[in-house]
């Protein structure tokens, strides 16, 4: 459950080729980091995996279902945390999750369990407009896992968080370790802890795959900088 297959995927945006013949697979329960400089194609790839866009060439399958014709079946397996929190500021955390549970036809009893998972039980009755950035991010994760997906797609989950909130979030994400996870991030340090494998995109091409299980932080950073060239150093 939760296998991903990306096969020869190309994505064009206007005159830009955002992704060029990208292929990789992710095993069930594996945690993969997506890295690359600005404009490398990370968000474009996350959008395709999330079924928000379709490849111009190639195929993406989740558990064998193609993200284009089988988008509805695929969406049921996906939990997506993107740049936008996708929660309502005028509602409380609990109201947001109950609303989402009804839309997803999920038993509302699960809302309390998920609030607990992301450490928001004591703030469940607070309006989201009054939440800090870190709390809103945790609520986005709660929303994403409410229907118990097998695959979690996290686009820059640590962006804008201070050290303490990022550490809290990292700890919370380990509670969902049994799922397949794809995480796009510029945070090389946390990636070494979070991921089994790193995929490095450069100018839309999958430049390098690095196993993180037997690497320390320094050797991953070296491999990353070799892959992206000097552009990251300037
Ligand atoms: N709507 C669009 N129209 C045209 N080109 C686009 C569009 N969105 C992205 N691009 C281009 O596609 C390429 C890949 O962009 P993408 O946002 O996927 O990269 P990224 O790795 O997520 O970058 P960042 O780290 O800055 O978020 C870039 O050259 C970008 O300028």
- Distant-in-sequence, close-in-space partners of 140: CB < 8 Å, separation ≥ 6: 81, 85, 86, 87
Of all protein residues, whose CA lies closest to atom 1 belonging to ligand 1? 13
| Domain count within the chain | 1
Ligand 1 contacts CB of residue 29 (under 6 A): no
Output 182 or 162, whichever has higher pLDDT. 182
Of all protein residues, whose CA lies closest to atom 11 belonging to ligand 1? 18
- The DSSP letter of residue 208 is E
What's the mean pLDDT in 103-116? 91
Q: Which ligand 1 atom minimizes the distance to the CA of 184?
A: 22
In a domain, 3, yes or no: yes
Ligand 1 contacts CB of residue 2 (under 6 A): no
Looking at residue 217, its pLDDT comes to 65
Q: Which domain holds residue 197?
A: 1-77+181-234
In a domain, 207, yes or no: yes
What's the mean pLDDT in 86-92? 93
Backbone angles phi, psi at 156, to 5 degrees: 50, 55
Of all protein residues, whose CA lies closest to atom 27 belonging to ligand 1? 38
Q: Does the pLDDT of residue 90 top 90, yes or no?
A: yes
In a domain, 16, yes or no: yes
Alpha-carbon gap, residue 81 to 29, rounded angstroms = 18
Alpha-carbon gap, residue 100 to 234, rounded angstroms = 44
Backbone angles phi, psi at 14, to 5 degrees: 60, -130
Residue 161's region, left for phi above 0, alpha for psi from -120 to 50, else beta, is: beta
CATH code for the domain in which residue 23 is found? 3.40.50.300
Distance 19 CA to ligand 1 centre (A): 10
In a domain, 153, yes or no: no
Alpha-carbon gap, residue 104 to 167, rounded angstroms = 30
Q: Is 66 exposed, middle or buried (0-12, 13-18, 19+ CB in 10 A)?
A: middle
In a domain, 124, yes or no: no
- State the chain's mean pLDDT as an integer: 90
Distance 106 CA to ligand 1 centre (A): 34
Distance 41 CA to ligand 1 centre (A): 6
Q: Does the pLDDT of residue 230 top 60, yes or no?
A: no
What's the mean pLDDT in 128-144? 92
Q: 84 pairs with which residues across the strands?
A: none
Ligand 1 contacts CB of residue 39 (under 6 A): yes
CA 46 from chain center: how many Å? 7
The answer to whether residues 19 and 44 touch, using CB atoms and an 8 Å cutoff, is yes
Among 13, 49, 82, 231, say which to mutate for ligand 1: greatest number of ligand atoms within 8 Å of CB: 13
Q: How is residue 80 written in tokens? A: 């997506």
Output 179 or 194, whichever has higher pLDDT. 179
In a domain, 60, yes or no: yes
Distance 18 CA to ligand 1 centre (A): 6
The pLDDT-based confidence of 234 (bands split at 50, 70, 90) is very low
In a domain, 12, yes or no: yes
Handedness of CA 150, 155, 158, 161 (dihedral sign): negative
What CA–CA distances, in Å, run from 97 to 122, 146, 154, 172, 229? Answer: 15, 8, 19, 18, 44
Of all protein residues, whose CA lies closest to atom 31 belonging to ligand 1? 39
What's the mean pLDDT in 72-96? 91
Q: Of how many residues is the chain composed?
A: 234
Q: Does the pLDDT of residue 166 top 50, yes or no?
A: yes
Q: Does the pLDDT of residue 181 top 70, yes or no?
A: yes
Please report the ipTM that was assigned to this predicted complex: 0.95
Q: 208 pairs with which residues across the strands?
A: 200
pLDDT (tens digit per residue) in 1-51: 899 999 999 999 999 999 999 999 999 999 999 999 999 999 999 999 999
Distance 158 CA to ligand 1 centre (A): 19
In a domain, 216, yes or no: yes
Ligand 1 contacts CB of residue 41 (under 6 A): yes
Q: Which ligand 1 atom minimizes the distance to the CA of 41?
A: 18
pLDDT (tens digit per residue) in 193-217: 889 999 999 999 999 998 887 666 6
What's the mean pLDDT in 119-123? 94
Handedness of CA 125, 128, 130, 136 (dihedral sign): positive
Distance 130 CA to ligand 1 centre (A): 32
Backbone angles phi, psi at 195, to 5 degrees: -120, 150
């Amino acid at each position: 459950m939760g296998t991903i297959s990306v096969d020869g995927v190309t994505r064009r945006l206007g005159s830009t080729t955002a992704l060029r013949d990208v292929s990789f697979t992710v095993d069930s329960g594996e945690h993969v980091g997506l890295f690359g400089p600005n404009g490398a194609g990370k968000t474009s790839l996350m959008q395709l995996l999330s079924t928000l866009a379709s490849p111009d060439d190639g195929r993406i399958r989740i558990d064998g279902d193609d993200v284009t014709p089988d988008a509805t079946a695929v969406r049921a397996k996906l939990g997506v945390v993107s740049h936008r929190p996708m929660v309502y500021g005028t509602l409380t955390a609990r109201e947001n999750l109950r609303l989402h549970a009804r839309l997803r036809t999920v038993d509302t009893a699960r809302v309390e369990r998920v609030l607990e998972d992301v450490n928001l039980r004591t703030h469940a009755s607070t309006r989201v407009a009054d939440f800090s950035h870190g709390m809103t991010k945790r609520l986005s994760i709660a929303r994403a896992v409410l229907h118990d997906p097998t695959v979690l797609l996290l686009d820059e989950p640590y962006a804008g968080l201070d050290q303490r909130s990022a550490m809290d979030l990292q700890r919370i994400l380990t509670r969902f370790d049994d799922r397949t996870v794809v995480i796009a991030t510029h945070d090389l340090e946390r990636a070494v802890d979070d991921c089994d494998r790193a995929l490095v995109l450069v100018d839309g091409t999958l430049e390098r795959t690095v196993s993180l299980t037997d690497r320390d932080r320094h050797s991953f950073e070296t491999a990353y900088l070799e892959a992206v060239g000097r552009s990251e150093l300037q």
